[in-house]
Amino acid sequence: MTVTATSVGESDQLEPRVAPEARAWARRLRRLFPAAAAALSGLLLYVSFPPRTLWWLALPAFAIFGWVLRGRGWKAGLGLGYLFGLGFLLPLLVWTGVEVGPGPWLALVAIEAVFVALVGAGVTAVSKLPGWPVWAAALWIAGEAARARVPFEGFPWGKIAFGQADGVFLPLAALGGTPVLGFAVVLCGFGLYEVVRLAVETRRTGTVRRAAAAVGLLSLAVPVVAAVAARPLVSDKAEDGSVNVGVVQGNVPRAGLDFNSQRRAVLDYHARETERLAAEVKAGKVARPDFVLWPENSSDIDPFANPDARAVIDTAAKAVGVPISVGGVVERDGKLYNEQILWDPAKGPVDTYDKRQIQPFGEYLPFRSLIGAINSNWTQMQRQDFSRGTKPGVFTMDGAKVGLVTCYEAAFDWTVRSEVTDGAQMISVPSNNATFDRSEMTYQQLAMSRVRAVEHSRTVAVPVTSGVSAIIMPDGEITQKTGMFVADSLVQKVPLRSSQTPATQLGILPEIAFVLVAAGGLGWAVGAGMRGRRASDV
């Protein structure tokens, strides 16, 4: 057949042609895809956190993160890690701006995401090493360790362990605390990606890399097997008898920062709810508690300086007839303290605990003069900084030793452990979440307390001004809880325990071990890179 010039021209017109602009857009989209995947995998990690019970989503989140990072340069890892951090922390910490606007929330996230970015850069380096999921998971825990210490004494909110209160890995908290629990989850996620990657590679090439496949499978299997093996460490059996604990949630007049202007009303609400509880006990409707726990800020009026406040608390204690742990704001020697006060119905105040891990920008203002120059409203809201306590707080209440961990302190490993090593047979986490309205903050903090219960094998009571108050057994199960912004009380018989879990005994050692592993992996990766460059130069 003869092809004419005309037929050739017509054939050319039928062939698809891609415009240069379209090809350029396609290249841009391909370059943007890893960035979008990093941000979306961070969002997936957020969705795995409470109040949702989708803990298992942390595994595909880290699998995608591993896929995005593996084999890239450190600069790309830095940027992709930052996007992962933003995707995770922006929605997780949105509650920090509920009452003060988006400025502090965005600033906090921008700073915290830097730690995730550095981890991302590190993961790109170790991803070229044999057994890279182990090195990468250790790097994540090292990043959490740094974030829990700097800046301003650290901000450990968002530890991977705190998203696992409903998960199969939870028993690992009793083995090595939040670092071991978090490491297992991250390792499993990176291992999931490695298994999928090697399966695709094997199907394409027909060759099985046995050593790499073994690492991937072990990264998936070992955390699950370890969690099952750690299950016997979790127990809710009484070792030192049992007590009836009472938890009072008095509620507040209104949500938000404005509740602070209603300090007397908050105190009256808690006294009234305690007296209502006493009436139910007298009527035989509720078992008599051995002691009662009030929340943080239940008496923002200093009862040592204000006779009216003292009388209100004293009347409530006498009505219920048992000791009360009262959350007060106390001024002593010109210093302000967030204090728990042990109030005896016959003797009045007999012991105190001053909060040690106080919240920056909430209980004290770093760079106060600079912040005042930017926005004077912030300095007016926090006119005087709180001072730190120096000693653990363990109240002896009707013979039971109750460790005090005030609100924000529950996020820090050391504050909870110190109470247990000081003899606490159960733990109270008095909190005030009214500032954060109905946000997810309450549920995130409640999950922390569940992890702490398993970590140290202790009953944890959580009295909150506005909810959610709860009683948590040593196995992490919530047996009773209140609603939000209602007045209510809980009474339950709970076990007292004095044995120490491996996590309690080991303390900071697992975290140190992961930091050393991460440093070793980075050192190996940097050394291998330098040797490779020297070889190429030759």
Handedness of CA 21, 23, 28, 32 (dihedral sign): positive
Kindly state the helix (H) or strand (E) to which residue 462 belongs, with its residue range: strand 459-462
Active site residue 355: yes
153 CA to centre of own chain: 15
- Residue 427 tokens, joined: 């733990």
Three-state secondary structure call for residue 100: coil
DSSP of 165-228? TTSTTTTHHHHHHHHHHHHHHHHHHHHHHHHHHHHHHHHHHS---HHHHHHHHHHHHHHHHHHH
CA dist., res. 476 & res. 454, Å (int): 6
Helices (H), 321-382: 368-374, 376-381
Q: What is the dihedral of CA 275, 277, 281, 286, to 10 degrees?
A: 180
- Options 112, 159, 355, 455, the catalytic residue: 355
Active site residue 407: yes
CA dist., res. 431 & res. 396, Å (int): 20
Strands 348-354 and 335-344: antiparallel
CA dist., res. 442 & res. 255, Å (int): 13
Active site residue 477: no
CA dist., res. 190 & res. 521, Å (int): 15
- Options 363, 407, 440, 511, the catalytic residue: 407
- Decide if 247 contacts 471 (C-beta within 8 A): yes
- Options 112, 144, 273, 296, the catalytic residue: 296
| Catalytic residue IDs | 296, 355, 407
